[in-house]
A and B are shown apart, each in its own frame.
Chain A
């Protein structure tokens, strides 16, 4: 039973446009949500997070939105750059454990 799902295994976006990555979760006890980014041959690196008491958090080109009623999380990247091409993992936290989605491969086309 997968508690965190990223239903799009891949996404292709043109450079300069907005990239929107989506994530759904089932456990209403999750109290913290994160996005990690992974390049090939490297481990995931923390990108941005949001507490369950907020609905939006922004950091430069990256914004995370949380819709608790829909149990939905999204990451917006604008404008998208070639260096943003990577696999993005959504993660949710409860009792100090991170539960990850299966990842979305984002490709930014020039």
Chain B
């Protein structure tokens, strides 16, 4: 595997379910990001991790819970979501923060549908 991978690619869940999105980067990067893209809206930054430490939490509801066990893996744990949380969730990585954050490498995304 190369680049940034995300699983699953598609996920349908009920509002009472608990699920997790997984992201893995094979680039040796130190920073990882979660973005949300809703229909006809720009990408919104959700979380930023640097060397497994969360450095940014962009006013995201607590029903989204990120986890970064090591610099290669990033998870987004989902529980009691709402239908308006249906969106494309994109993971990205960069060499580091600072100027390196300007060039981010994205995964293909997970298309989430909440029923």
- A contacts, CB < 8 Å to B: 2, 4, 9, 32, 34, 36, 41-46, 49, 89, 93, 96-103
Asked if B102 is an interface residue, CB under 8 A from chain A, the answer is yes
Please determine whether A49 and B102 come into contact, CB atoms closer than 8 angstroms: yes
With beta carbons under 8 angstroms apart, the residue of A32, A43, A49 that contacts B106 is A43
Please determine whether B103 and A49 come into contact, CB atoms closer than 8 angstroms: yes
- Given known pairs A97-B101, A98-B45, the reply for A44 and B106 (CB within 8 Å) is yes
Q: Which residues of chain A are near B42, meaning CB under 8 Å?
A: 2, 4, 89, 99-103
B91 to chain A, nearest CB (A): 8
A89 to chain B, nearest CB (A): 7
Chain A binding surface SS class: strand
Please determine whether B108 and A43 come into contact, CB atoms closer than 8 angstroms: yes
B interface size (C-beta, 8 A): 22
How many A-B contacts if CB must be within 8 Å?
A: 54
Please determine whether B101 and A96 come into contact, CB atoms closer than 8 angstroms: yes
Asked if B104 is an interface residue, CB under 8 A from chain A, the answer is yes
B31 to chain A, nearest CB (A): 9
* B74-115 Cβ-contact flags toward A at 8 Å (1 or 0): 000000000000000010100001110111111111000000
Q: Which residues of chain A are near B45, meaning CB under 8 Å?
A: 97-99
B74 to chain A, nearest CB (A): 14
A90 to chain B, nearest CB (A): 9
Q: Which residues of chain B are near A43, meaning CB under 8 Å?
A: 4, 90, 92, 105-109
A6 to chain B, nearest CB (A): 8
Please determine whether B108 and A98 come into contact, CB atoms closer than 8 angstroms: no
B41 to chain A, nearest CB (A): 6
Please determine whether A98 and B106 come into contact, CB atoms closer than 8 angstroms: no
